[in-house]
Amino acid sequence: MKNIIGNINKAFDHRIRLGIMSILMVNEFADFKSLKELLGATDGNIASHTKALEKQKYIKVEKSFINRKPNTRYLVTDKGRKAFQEHLDALEKLLNSGKGG
């Protein structure tokens, strides 16, 4: 039998990373505070998981100042968009493989 989970991307195994990518796929960008609030995660969770996605070059980080306050925002890269879509396609195939006909 063919390996039906072979195309599932380990980078998206964790629910926080899955959430970050889901948010960035449907928004032009999201800032640190928004990700933290939307995902109900701690600063440390967001920091470590965005760093992991950045290391894979799936997201890009932009740092700036807004009214003298630091602002960090995240954007999905073309590579990240492609990898996440392939991951979603693999999940869909996995779900459909269980159908009997």
According to the model, what pLDDT value does residue 96 have? 87
Classified as helix, coil or strand, 30 is strand
pLDDT in tens, 58-67: 999 999 998 9
Q: What's residue 7's pLDDT?
A: 79
User: How many C-beta neighbours within 10 Å does residue 30 have?
Assistant: 22
Q: Is the pTM of this model over 0.85?
A: yes
Nearest CA to 87 among 14, 30, 2? 14
Tens of pLDDT along the chain (101 residues)? 467 677 789 999 899 999 999 999 999 999 999 999 999 999 999 999 999 999 999 999 999 998 999 999 999 999 999 999 999 999 998 888 877 54
